Chain A
């Protein structure tokens, strides 16, 4: 923001009492110095923020026409689709927005893994990110239950039953989660309450995430620290405009689904009202949970740990283990551009995540060209953990990285030559 702006008497009056304008300026304005070499992979954080705002806005109006009761929930969503003005639009934006949110956040996280953004001094920034992912998963899971279709009901049944794997207290915990003896009206009510709450928890986490970001500023494609003003440009107008352009492109993608393929990410079974006496033949979670669902089902009985408990542990561990990345990766070089071995194995890991997703979408007793999906899932799960717990630490010690450029500006001028 220009100094002229700060000389305005009203602005000055407010600033003296609450320095909110300089706070904004230092967060996303001309007063925030940003590495000058950020590429489009750095757009995804702000895009996720926009989607969060869209989810809250559409969610609040949907909640005005939604009824959280087993006898009316399904009908109230159908009424939103048919009778409420623009209800179909709001619901399709909210429904597809959930999928968009996960696409953006997964890309955002892979970006962090490729460019080593989790490394010192951004460990907490990364850990808060993983917490945001967990909070998003809880929010999306409970949101999916609200329309009270067959997948809502059976997804909720299968996932809440996971907790019964906990020794001794498991069954008591499940009864407590349900507020009864099966997924029923008390469950739907509390899920609505929590689904409304969680986005605001996510907001708070995002705030802390950005707070940590602004202490040491963004990482960048070459992964070397900002050495001085020659390495940066002001956030506004340079990155506000780049983010705005990215938003335009993303909205085309998002709105394509909203208007032309609104049920692309959904399951047709969820347009059948929940029936507690009939399980659909093939229960699948939303696509963004598929890799984790594959991990859940991959674990066999191991020694005294039942497959059920082992699967639950592996599934939660697959997310929590990400928090350890800053310490598992000993390489001082952040960006994969200068790490020839890591760079290739990174893509193998991405591929592994896709394979796990594909396995999660198939029934475990299904067979692919003579190979049981169960085996593919077990191999994929083993590789997932091996990549994080063994491969990353090993190559961070064994690999000989190339020498990164002296500084960001050196990298930029070199590239120009």
Chain B
């Protein structure tokens, strides 16, 4: 056997080859996976898209009982100046009656101002209820016409296929009457 190019395989030798083969293949696979990551990650939001991520709103001109819609990150944000009746209705609801339990207090910084992303948590339509003559659903808040989700005066889901409350974005009061969303 000494005249063959490959020396006689001993059991030890075999494990060494297996080890080399396996480690080479592993390094190759991990390397390929790492090289693919930039391609995948390039599809995530770019720096300039992220940079557009705050919006300022002046609350002064919004009368009681009125709502406005502002754009933040390409999405509509509902800003509602709630009436005392609406606040009372929202606060009176027991957590047991809610699909996605959250108290009204946890959803507002000042009870008068309800600020939330106006995108239905079902499949992303924009619920109606911002205009005075819009349908507002069975709970007096918002109604999504796409598949029939009803939201209450705190923007919480009460009926229909949507699984969650309308999300409250991060926002801060810059002054008493201006907020910065994002």
Contacts and interface: CB of A to CB of B under 8 A. Distances in A.
Interface residues of A, number: 30
Contacts of B39: none
Contacts of B119: 182
Contacts of A276: 71, 74-76
B22 to A, nearest CB: 30
A175 B145 contact: no
A181 B125 contact: no
Contacts of A278: 126
A282 B146 CA distance: 6
Contact of A158 (B125, B148, B161): B125
B43 interface: yes
Interface of A: 154, 157-158, 160-162, 175-182, 184, 186, 190, 276-279, 281-283, 297, 306-308, 364-365
A184 B74 contact: yes
Contact of B146 (A175, A181, A279): A279
Contacts of A162: 123
29 contacts: A157-B123, A157-B125, A158-B123, A161-B122, A175-B45, A176-B44, A177-B43, A178-B45, A179-B46, A180-B49, A181-B45, A181-B74, A181-B75, A182-B73, A182-B75, A184-B74, A186-B45, A190-B43, A276-B71, A276-B76, A277-B69, A277-B126, A278-B126, A279-B125, A279-B126, A279-B145, A297-B147, A308-B122, A364-B148
Contacts of B74: 180-182, 184, 276
Interface string B41-54: 00111100100010
Contact of B45 (A180, A308, A365): A180
Nearest to B161: A307
A160 B75 CA distance: 15
Given A175-B45, A279-B126, A365 B146 contact: no
Contacts of B73: 180-182
B163 interface: yes
A308 B161 contact: yes
A375 to B, nearest CB: 15
A70 to B, nearest CB: 10
B124 interface: yes
Contacts of B43: 176-177, 179, 190
Nearest to B119: A182
Nearest to A162: B123
A182 B125 CA distance: 11
Nearest to A277: B76
Nearest to B126: A279
Contacts of B40: 176
Interface string B117-146: 001001111100000000000000000011
**Leading 7 A-B pairs by shortest Cβ distance:** A181-B73, A182-B74, A161-B124, A279-B125, A158-B123, A161-B123, A157-B124
Interface in B73-112: 73-76
Given A176-B44, A276-B76, 20 more contacts: A158-B124, A161-B122, A162-B123, A177-B43, A179-B44, A179-B45, A179-B49, A180-B73, A181-B45, A181-B53, A181-B73, A181-B74, A182-B73, A277-B71, A277-B76, A283-B125, A297-B161, A307-B161, A364-B147, A364-B148
A154 B125 contact: yes
Contacts of B148: 364-365
Interface string B141-166: 00001111000000000000101000
A366 to B, nearest CB: 10
B148 to A, nearest CB: 5
A364 B122 CA distance: 14
A175 B125 contact: no
Contacts of B122: 161, 308
B77 to A, nearest CB: 11
A87 to B, nearest CB: 30
A27 to B, nearest CB: 35
B161 to A, nearest CB: 5
B88 to A, nearest CB: 30
B14 to A, nearest CB: 37
Contacts of B147: 297, 364
B158 to A, nearest CB: 15
A154 B119 CA distance: 12
Listed residue (A175, A182, A186, A306) with the most chain B CB atoms within 10 angstroms of its CB: A182
A180 B50 CA distance: 8
A175 B40 CA distance: 12
